[in-house]
Amino acid sequence: MTDGPGHPVPLARKLAAEFFGTFCLVLVGTGAIVVNDVSGGGVTPVGIALCFGLVVLAMILALGDVSGSHINPAVTCGLWGAGLFPIGQVIPYVVSQCAGAIAASSVLRLCFQQHATLGATLPAGSDMQAFCFELVLTAILMFTILNVSERVSARPQGGPLMVAAAVAAVIAMSALWAGPVCGASLNPARSLAPALLTGTYNSLWLYLLAPECGALVGVGVWRAVRG
């Protein structure tokens, strides 16, 4: 990413973008879950899925030219695994993303002090079932990101919108289809933040591990398909 021709974006600005992008994702996405709970279903499951998809769409369009708008530690690690992201920036990105997520959950805790989980991801069935769902869905997300980004680099016109729409579609589809089964997190920062703020650590390990594994699987499938 560049700040004008030949001028790289400073790392501090990238980290600020990742912090704010992840903050918005967790505030809007998990906030939709909380509001749905306290309003007796006023948002609806479809509305929750749309909130996740739309906020991802907005953040990619708003911040993609600054930091790439990963807003997800699994995506950052996947891009590194694909050889498209420098290893020296992986930890700073992940820390910024987790900090942004925790800040968002802190705002929700302030606004909804009596809510038990703040939108924490919990499996409806077994941990193994949820692990498989999270892994496969994150692999699909990573595969989509890599393939669409590759097409955009070859044909830049309309590229940001194409990437944003594709990623948002995967996020919304995952929430619609798998949300009732596993919560469809696909994002360790999104799961970590509400768990820390509410002490909801049941099955947290799978929501931290499965997306990372899934991202690397997505990279492998991308390499097999694209060569």
Compute CA distances 204 → 111, 129, 190, 222, whole Å.
24, 14, 11, 28
What pLDDT, on a 0 to 100 scale, did the predictor assign at position 165?
A: 95
What pLDDT, on a 0 to 100 scale, did the predictor assign at position 1?
A: 35
Stretch 10-29: mean pLDDT: 98
The third-level CATH classification (topology) of the domain covering 11-226 is Glycerol uptake facilitator protein (1.20.1080)
Stretch 128-157: mean pLDDT: 89
What pLDDT, on a 0 to 100 scale, did the predictor assign at position 158?
A: 62
pLDDT (tens digit, 9 = 90+) per residue, 77-102?
999 999 999 999 999 999 999 999 99
Look at residue 7 and tell me whether its pLDDT is greater than 90: no
Look at residue 33 and tell me whether its pLDDT is greater than 90: yes
What pLDDT, on a 0 to 100 scale, did the predictor assign at position 167?
A: 97
What pLDDT, on a 0 to 100 scale, did the predictor assign at position 154?
A: 64
Map out the domains of the chain as residue ranges.
11-226
Comparing 143 with 151, the larger pLDDT belongs to: 143
pLDDT (tens digit, 9 = 90+) per residue, 146-194?
999 887 766 666 678 899 999 999 999 999 999 999 999 999 999 999 9
The amino acid at residue 68 is G
What pLDDT, on a 0 to 100 scale, did the predictor assign at position 226?
A: 86
Stretch 189-207: mean pLDDT: 96
What pLDDT, on a 0 to 100 scale, did the predictor assign at position 87?
A: 97
Comparing 166 with 2, the larger pLDDT belongs to: 166
Look at residue 54 and tell me whether its pLDDT is greater than 80: yes
| Token digits of residue 46 | 């479809």
What pLDDT, on a 0 to 100 scale, did the predictor assign at position 151?
A: 76
pLDDT range class, residue 55, cuts 50, 70, 90: very high
Task: Report the candidate in 10, 188, 163, 196 with the shortest Cα–Cα distance to residue 97.
Answer: 188
| Average pLDDT in the chain | 94
The secondary structure of 136-186 as a DSSP string is: HHHHHHHHHHHHHHHHHHHS-TTHHHHHHHHHHHHHHHHHHHHHHHH----
What pLDDT, on a 0 to 100 scale, did the predictor assign at position 192?
A: 98
